[in-house]
Amino acid sequence: MNNTEHLQNTSRPCVPARRSGHVACIFGDNLYIWGGYLDLPGSPFPIDRYLPPAELWVYNIEAESWKLEETSGSIPPGTSGCSSTVIGESLYVFGGFEKNENSNKLYCLNLHTKVWCLLENKGDAPSPRDKSVCWAYKNTRIYVFGGFGPEPKITPCYGQWVWDSTSSWTPEQGRGWNNHLFSYNIESEKWNEVKTTGDCPSARAAHAGALLGNKVFIFGGRHNQCRLNDLYCLNLDTLQWSGPILCHSDTPAGRSWHTLNKVSRKHIILYGGFDTECVPLGDCWVLDTDRMVWTQLPVPSKPRLWHSASTTCAGGEIITFGGCSNNILGTEENQHCNDVIHIFVTPKSLLRISLDVVVKYQRVLSKYLHHLPRSIIETLEKRMNTTINKNGPPVSSNDHRKHSCVVS
């Protein structure tokens, strides 16, 4: 390897298909993408639109490169609108919409072995639903709030279910919004409906949530024909809702299918969504939860809805993937995406900046790269989709459909 002088193309970059309604998580140095759907021209059956459920796409954050992994075990069916969270080395995926119905199944994927497990719905399980919010607390419990689906067969003791009278579904099929809160105990492997106090959010779906310490913040979502812009907080130790929180600033427009991510001890980033006029949004806001002040960030934005957004383990960076960029409920063909958007709220590391410079000036620097440590060479090879060897001319880096913006 010490005699290498140039870079040479090996293959075209391998990237995941465009999609919306998928789930994503950060584990270690990687972003993981699973599920979702893509409208196929001329496809009359919704099941044909789901992405292959055995596929797990892995994005190396440092190398900015994709890898396809095949999973095994009790693989879930093709699904969209799931909610998910990570505990330890396991990705938990709940609910969603599969084939022609909602689901209330809970699956667990070991991110090391890539093996799926279907967990038994013991206890008081949530009713089938999609577009709910899911989070983990103290690595012992998974919480699920809200969503859209059929009326519960057993009426919950707490909360409400509101039928969607405008849908094509009959009252017997009865799909609608709810504000039920359930928890799943990892140790006992049982579901339990959670009784809370205080003024809770109204029934809703396609809302977003972010966990800060012992509090989870819920923003927006759809209820009937209204897309909301209210903000609530649930204390997970006392199980008390805050009621609608009054913010001392301008507030983001009402929306659904947006994302909400923690980026510091007290800051949350809101990105994208779909407003009441069915317009896809590309605005980005930060909420200071100490002062309850929203600030719109003046960064280049790309309209996205039903996308995913994950905060890196080190914090200060949100990685957004996929989603739809036009009116998903309109008559025109849906414009699903597969690009990656990096939102930095703190400066990049020196290593990431150095890698950017090498990629940008690789024609000039290519003959010196063999002096670098092997681990750095491997990262550059992944990022540029090249092999560093002595034969062949230097080449330009491939387009990985990546966009960056800095808001710090």
Q: State yes or no: pLDDT of 63 exceeds 80.
A: yes
Q: State yes or no: pLDDT of 305 exceeds 80.
A: yes
pLDDT digits (tens, 9 = 90+) for 206-254: 999 999 999 999 999 999 999 999 999 999 999 999 999 999 999 999 9
Rounded distance between C-alpha atoms, residue 343 and residue 369, angstroms: 29
| Structure confidence at residue 395 (pLDDT) | 44
CB 296 within 8 A of CB 250: yes
| Structure confidence at residue 364 (pLDDT) | 85
Q: β-strands 208-212, 190-193: how paired?
A: unpaired
Q: What is the torsion angle, in degrees rounded to the nearest 10, for the CA atoms of residue 71, residue 73, residue 78 and residue 81?
A: -90
pLDDT digits (tens, 9 = 90+) for 105-125: 999 999 999 999 999 999 999
Q: State yes or no: pLDDT of 83 exceeds 60.
A: yes
Sign of CA pseudo-dihedral 102, 103, 109, 115:
negative
pLDDT bin (cut points 50, 70, 90) of residue 406 is: low
| Structure confidence at residue 300 (pLDDT) | 62
- pLDDT > 90: what percent of the chain? 70
DSSP 3-state of 368: helix
pTM: 0.88
pLDDT bin (cut points 50, 70, 90) of residue 193 is: very high
pLDDT digits (tens, 9 = 90+) for 112-160: 999 999 999 999 999 999 999 999 999 999 999 999 999 998 777 799 9
Q: State yes or no: pLDDT of 401 exceeds 80.
A: no
| Structure confidence at residue 47 (pLDDT) | 59
**41 vs 116, more confident:** 116
Which run of H or E residues covers position 376?
A: helix 374-384
| Structure confidence at residue 11 (pLDDT) | 47
Domain ranges of the chain: 18-344
| Structure confidence at residue 357 (pLDDT) | 87
Q: State yes or no: pLDDT of 8 exceeds 80.
A: no
Q: State yes or no: pLDDT of 23 exceeds 90.
A: yes
| Structure confidence at residue 388 (pLDDT) | 67
CB 262 within 8 A of CB 268: yes
Q: State yes or no: pLDDT of 41 exceeds 80.
A: no
**CA neighbor of 77 nearest in space, from 103, 113, 57:** 103
| Structure confidence at residue 398 (pLDDT) | 46
Top-confidence range, 44-53, 129-138, 388-397, 398-407: 129-138
| Structure confidence at residue 290 (pLDDT) | 97
| Structure confidence at residue 254 (pLDDT) | 98
Superfamily designation of domain 18-344 = Kelch-type beta propeller (2.120.10.80)
pLDDT bin (cut points 50, 70, 90) of residue 375 is: confident
Which token pair is 175? 């799909």
Q: State yes or no: pLDDT of 9 exceeds 60.
A: no
pLDDT bin (cut points 50, 70, 90) of residue 167 is: confident
Residue carrying the six token digits 């919409």? 97
Complete DSSP assignment for 142-201: EEEEEEEEEPPSS--SSS-EEE-TTSSS-TTT-EEEEEEEEEEETTTTEEEEPP-BS-PP
394 phi/psi in degrees, rounded to 5 = -65, 150
* 76-85, 114-123, 195-204, 368-377: segment of lowest average pLDDT: 368-377
pLDDT bin (cut points 50, 70, 90) of residue 301 is: confident
